[in-house]
A and B are shown apart, each in its own frame.
Chain A
Amino acid sequence: MRLGKINPKKLWVPGATFVVLALLATLPLYASTYSVILLTSILMFVILALSWALFSAPTGYISLAPAAFFGVGIYTSAILGKQLPFPLVVSLGGLISFCLALLVGALTLRLRGIYFAMFTFGLVELIKHFWLWYEIQFTGTRGRFVVVVPHNTIYLAMFAVFVLLLLTTYLVRRSRLGLALRSIGECEEAAAHIGVNVNALKTVMFAVSAIFMGAAGSIIATRWTYVDPYIAFNPLYSFMAVLMALFGGLGHPYGPILGAAIFAYLEELLITRFPYYYMLIFGVVLIITVLYLPEGLIGLIGKIWRRVRGGHYAAA
């Protein structure tokens, strides 16, 4: 790449990203506790949606397993939180999720389309009920208390995981592997012809995306203070991750981030004002997205941008 001639138009996206990240990193210094807690939730959903998109957006494999890896992270925190330092617990949450995903991926990523989606959905239920059985059988209680961590620490940990995920997404997208993942999504057989070790690549990326889900789970568990298998392995987190990513758009990493940020903020707003209807409103938004915005918010923004600039119209 040539340096020296830098197009200022190409600088504003990385520039804006940097400013936003700097503002987020210093948030506890100037924002209220409420804002810090709110942004922790938002970042959690952003991590779930973006890490889901890391694997599923290029490959087209719809995974409904985020809740499983998220829950594994939560339980890592619940079991080890008292004995080990917080950063180690979070890393372990990611690592255990990675190992589980590697195993699950190796077994199931030969399945295509709806079968893969169904299996991953089943995985969440399987782990939930297995764990419920285990707890009742061996500990005698259903739930566990989780060690409490200060709000600012929770927030900063969540932010650190988000930055790592953003970096991973960026590096993967720009690399040979990112191209290979997309080729798997487009035509798996042709990708194999070309020399892509399709099964290994899918499995590894599936597992890498699980690291961030697990880490997010082990962080947020400390805020919930009490967990049981129904709370930890709630399939809603899988659906939310997928919906938020689709709502934002899969064409660009900013899609899932935007989708999750808006959804999570809306949830906060709606749950306080319309506690009974907020799921209904979500449902309507989702239907509208699927019907009218197949490329999500990011696709819509792109369209408007092209129209404003007076460039060529996007094909309908």
Chain B
Amino acid sequence: MLEIRDLNAFYGKLQVLWNVSLQVREGEIVAIVGSNGAGKTTLLHSILGLVRPASGSVTFLGRRIDGLPSYAIAEMGVTVVPEGGRVFPEMSVRENLEMGAYPHRAWERRKEALKYVYQLFPRLKERERQLARTLSGGERQMLAIGRALMSRPKLCLFDEPSYGLAPVMVKEIFEIIQKIREQGVTVLLVEQNVRRALEIADRAYVLENGRICMEGECAELLESDHIKKAYLGM
């Protein structure tokens, strides 16, 4: 579904990504794990059209999307739950969700989508008319996920969904991600919380200093000495 080949990207003059290649197949949860500054966010931004890669290619459903503007990529069915949620604080919960259905193909069917999201997050339904800034951190994250789902995505990217959340909330969010996959949405998950990410994903890529240093099935990675030592503190 998504294929990245030999991607090189710069932040100013600094090279952030070095020959990154990865693949996400339909229906999978794929995790990209790594520490702070490993280049995870730049990688996400190059998929979303916010960073123009210096070389290499990004292909989605057989079409090159590197170089396309981000609204065109969103229109194709790629969406993101940004780091920290980035909900629209002065808009109501409902308006935030409706805004998620902005792409043309989603706008016509936003009522159905709204029902689906409210069913997934009954708490958002209760707070429908509240301004988003009055929500708690966890609720905001739910709202951000709901907003992303409103666009009927084929591929949903998650940027550090656990960041800044209480452990209970983290657990809930990760369960929701699994639920979303069961509904037929492919998930690419970028996480610092390596253990959690490896527990729910099918496959994972480990990003270190802008290079992919390991990849494989999550069950195997969890057993590897390098992962245990560097990320799991064992």
Q: Among A194, A197, A198, point to the contact of B99 (Cβ < 8 A).
A: A194
CB-CB < 8 A to B102: which residues of A? Answer: 176, 179-180, 194-196
Q: Which of A25-33, A69-77, A181-189 contacts B (4 or more CB under 8 A)?
A: A181-189
Number of interface residues of B (CB under 8 A): 25
Cα–Cα, bound, A186→B75 (Å) = 21
B116 interfacial contact with A, CB 8 Å:
no
Q: B82 touching A192 by the CB < 8 A rule?
A: no
Closest residue to A199 on the B side, CB-wise? B69
Separation in Å of the B7 CB from the closest CB of chain A?
20
Separation in Å of the A190 CB from the closest CB of chain B?
4
Q: Which of B24-32, B87-95, B174-182, B211-219 contacts A (4 or more CB under 8 A)?
A: B87-95
A193 interfacial contact with B, CB 8 Å:
yes
Cα–Cα, bound, A248→B157 (Å) = 42
Number of interface residues of A (CB under 8 A): 17
Q: Mark B147-165, 1 if CB is under 8 A from A, else 0.
A: 1000100000000000000
Q: A176 touching B107 by the CB < 8 A rule?
A: yes
Q: Mark A196-219, 1 if CB is under 8 A from B, else 0.
A: 111000000000000000000000
User: Which B43-78 residues sit within 8 Å CB-CB of chain A?
Assistant: 48, 50, 69-71, 74-75
Interface centre among B71, B79, B91 (most CB of A within 10 A): B71
CB-CB < 8 A to B147: which residues of A? Answer: 194
Q: A193 touching B48 by the CB < 8 A rule?
A: yes
Q: B79 touching A193 by the CB < 8 A rule?
A: yes
B103 interfacial contact with A, CB 8 Å:
yes
Q: Among A182, A194, A197, point to the contact of B151 (Cβ < 8 A).
A: A194
> What are 18 pairs between A and B in contact, CB < 8 Å?
A176-B107, A180-B99, A182-B88, A183-B91, A186-B88, A187-B87, A190-B82, A190-B86, A190-B88, A192-B71, A193-B80, A193-B82, A194-B100, A194-B102, A194-B151, A195-B75, A196-B102, A198-B71
Having A187-B89, A195-B75, one finds 5 other A-B pairs with CB under 8 Å, namely A176-B102, A182-B95, A183-B88, A190-B86, A194-B102
